[in-house]
C-alpha cells in the first residue's frame, strides 16, 4: 500500500510540472496565465510565446504522460498491490490530474490533452491492443482540426470517441475505464470552450499570427 501511495504521489508531481508557465517565466519573463486564454498548456503557449515554445511545451507535456506510464510504471508497478495494467492506468490518471490541477499553481493547470496523449502513447507501448485505439484517436483529432482549425473542437470530438474506440477493439476493463474517465476529464476541462463553440466565438488556430508576447 505504501508503494502504491508513493507511486501515485510521484506521478502526480511529475504531471504538475507547469512547462508552459516555466518556459514563459524563464525565456520570456512573463506569466502566461495573464495572456491569451490564460491556460498553461501547449495551445496557449503557441499563441502567446510562439511556435518554438508551443512545440517544446507540447513535447514536454506529452513526455510527462509517457514517463509516468512507462518509466514509473516499469519501476513502481511491480511493487504496487494491483495488477500491472491497473497500476499503469492509475499512474497515468495521477499524472494527468497533476497537469490539470497542478499543486505548483494553486491547482490551476492545463486542459490535459497533450499529457493524455502521452499517457495513451505510453500505455500503447506496454498494453497489447491499444495501438489501434491510439491511432484512431490521432486520426480523429487531426481530421477535425484540419477541417475546423479549432483545437478545442478536435479535442472534444476525440474525447467522445476514445471510450468507443476502446470498446470497439475490446481492450481490457482497466483501459476501457481509463478511456471513459479521460473522456469525462477532457470534456469537463473544455466547458468554457464548448460554450464559446456554441456561441460561434471559439477562435481558430492561425499559425501565421505573431505571438502575443
Percentage of the chain surpassing pLDDT 90?
78
Residue 120 has a CB neighbour count (10 Å cut-off) of 27
Q: How far apart are the first and last CA of the chain?
A: 47
Name the DSSP letter for residue 78.
Answer: G
The confidence score (pLDDT) of residue 211 equals 76
DSSP for 141-189, written as a single string: HHHHHHHH--HHHHHHHHHHHHHHHHHHTT--HHHHHHHHHHHHHHHHH
Q: Is the pTM value of this prediction over 0.75? A: yes
How many residues are there in the chain?
A: 213
pLDDT at residue 207 is higher than 80: no
Give residue-wise pLDDT tens across range 130-188.
Answer: 899 999 999 999 999 999 999 999 999 999 999 999 999 988 888 899 999 999 999 99
Across 31-44, average pLDDT: 91
Cell 509517457, residue located: 66
The confidence score (pLDDT) of residue 213 equals 64
Cell 495521477, residue located: 94
- DSSP, collapsed to helix, strand or coil, labels residue 126 as helix
Cβ contact 36:42 at 8 Å? no
- CA triplet 109, 72, 168: central angle to 5 degrees? 75
Cell 501515485, residue located: 8
Distance CA 201, CA 128 (A): 41
Task: Record the cell numbers describing residue 173, joined without a space.
Answer: 476493463
Give residue-wise pLDDT tens across range 94-115.
Answer: 999 999 999 999 999 999 999 9
Distance CA 93, CA 131 (A): 19
Q: Which pLDDT band holds residue 123 (cuts at 50, 70, 90)?
A: very high
Cβ contact 75:14 at 8 Å? no
Amino acid at each position: 500500500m505504501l508503494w502504491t501511495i508513493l507511486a501515485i504521489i510521484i506521478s502526480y508531481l511529475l504531471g504538475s510540472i507547469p512547462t508552459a508557465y516555466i518556459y514563459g517565466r524563464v525565456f520570456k519573463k512573463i506569466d502566461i496565465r495573464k495572456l491569451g486564454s490564460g491556460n498553461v498548456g501547449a495551445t496557449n503557449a503557441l499563441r502567446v510565446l510562439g511556435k518554438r515554445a508551443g512545440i517544446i511545451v507540447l513535447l514536454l507535456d506529452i513526455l510527462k504522460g509517457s514517463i509516468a506510464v512507462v518509466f514509473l510504471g516499469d519501476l513502481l508497478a511491480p511493487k504496487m498491490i494491483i495488477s500491472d495494467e491497473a497500476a499503469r492506468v492509475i499512474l497515468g490518471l495521477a499524472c494527468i490530474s497533476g497537469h490539470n490541477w497542478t499543486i505548483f499553481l494553486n491547482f490551476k493547470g492545463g486542459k490535459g490533452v497533450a499529457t493524455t496523449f502521452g499517457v495513451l502513447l505510453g500505455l500503447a507501448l506496454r498494453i497489447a491492443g491499444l495501438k489501434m485505439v491510439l491511432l484512431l484517436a490521432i486520426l480523429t483529432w487531426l481530421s477535425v482540426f484540419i477541417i475546423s482549425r479549432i483545437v478545442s473542437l478536435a479535442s472534444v470530438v476525440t474525447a467522445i470517441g476514445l471510450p468507443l474506440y476502446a470498446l470497439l477493439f475490446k481492450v481490457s476493463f482497466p483501459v476501457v475505464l481509463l478511456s471513459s474517465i479521460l473522456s469525462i476529464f477532457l470534456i469537463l476541462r473544455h466547458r468554457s470552450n464548448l460554450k464559446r463553440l456554441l456561441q460561434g466565438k471559439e477562435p481558430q488556430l492561425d499559425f501565421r499570427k505573431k505571438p502575443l508576447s
